[in-house]
Homo-oligomer: A and B are copies of this chain.
Amino acid sequence: MAAWWSAGDTMNVKPAKTPDWVAADWGTSHLRLWLMAENGQVLHRLHSAAGMGTLTPDGYEPELLRLLEGTLPAEGALDVICCGMAGAAQGWAEAPYAAAPCPPPGPAEAVQPALETPRLRVFILPGVKQIADSDVMRGEETQIAGFLAAHPGYDGMLCLPGTHSKWARVRDGKIEGFRTFMTGELFALLSSRSVLRHTTNSDGWDEAAFEAAVSDIMAAPADLTGKLFGLRAGPLLTGMPPETARARLSGLLIGAELAATRKDWQALPVALIGENSLAQAYAEALALKGHAPTLVNTEDMTLGGLKAARRQLQG
């Protein structure tokens, strides 16, 4: 689990000075750190595969110390502001959910785990829950905070594609409500663990098949579990190539999500928080239906949310 030091807009050597604070996104399968200067500049990016899924509570502090070795102050404490699954009940220290409708929670609601070292002060930001239609997020609320910092007064939907895609209604600086779809996890399970693994095994892509599948399922969303088996039978009977079946699987699942959220994105602006091919696929699917979402970068939003929390912490 070696850390890597990125090239690009950051320096590729150890920083000349101690960072002023550290921004952290500690998810289920990864930890990302940004060593920050007070002026908002990223001095370094660090990455580790020691996500919540691999750690017991006593493993978090040593992992942070390992990654931050050589950058801790000689005296005083470095602030680490952290979002994500580190705050789950099974994480480092539980940061109880804020209840929507609410603004994305800030450092006043953060939990501070007890530490061995006096050289760190860690703030873990809570996730957000919704009681009426039970739902939860951890990490996405910080991306939303970053979006709101960059777009104050935004009134519309935010879509965060992923393993568990989120659609959040945002207004007056608050998350009013949200819905989670298992789109990404279903794609992974069906394409690697189900009978469809034999016919969707491809690195390729068929854009026309993706678009046709989005339209098919949006016209008849009840047919999802039936249309899925066509990705087994179609290749058997018609020689449908695997890149076509794979793109169609993606289109059926994303199209089903768009069918379920149709009222929202037809009535309101949509911003997509993402940067990879998945977010592009959502943007294309929405474009097919005549909607042009704003696309913003996940890292920028996460970091923007953590910077906003830092500003609140400094009062």
Contact = CB atoms under 8 A, between A and B. Distances in A.
A182 B194 contact: yes
A193 B197 CA distance: 15
Measured as residues with beta carbon below 8 angstroms from the partner, the interface class of chain A is 35 or more
A225 B179 contact: no
A185 interface: yes
Contacts of A234: 134
Given A180-B229, A182-B229, A193-B193, A256 B224 contact: yes
Contacts of A181: 225-226, 229
Contact of A233 (B180, B226, B230, B259): B180
Given A189-B194, A194-B189, A234-B134, A224 B224 contact: yes
Given A224-B224, A225-B186, A256-B222, A134 B233 contact: yes
Contacts of A257: 225-226
A146 interface: no
A136 interface: yes
Nearest to A232: B136
Interface string A196-236: 00000000000000000000000011111110111011101
A233 B136 contact: yes
A193 to B, nearest CB: 6
Contact of A221 (B133, B185, B190, B222): B222
A237 interface: yes
B186 A237 contact: no
A174 interface: no
B129 A237 contact: yes
Nearest to A99: B237
B129 A225 contact: no
A131 interface: yes
A237 B193 CA distance: 29
Contacts of A225: 181-183, 186, 224, 253, 256-257, 260
A276 B226 CA distance: 22
Contact of A226 (B179, B228, B236, B237): B179
Interface string A128-166: 011101111000000000000000000000000000100
A134 B238 contact: yes
Contact of A222 (B97, B136, B183, B222): B222
B236 A136 contact: yes
Contacts of A130: 233
The 10 closest A-B pairs by CB, nearest first: A221-B222, A134-B234, A180-B229, A134-B233, A222-B259, A222-B260, A181-B225, A136-B233, A135-B233, A189-B189
Interface of A: 97, 129-131, 133-136, 164, 179-183, 185-186, 189-190, 193-195, 220-226, 228-230, 232-234, 236-238, 240, 253, 256-257, 259-260, 262
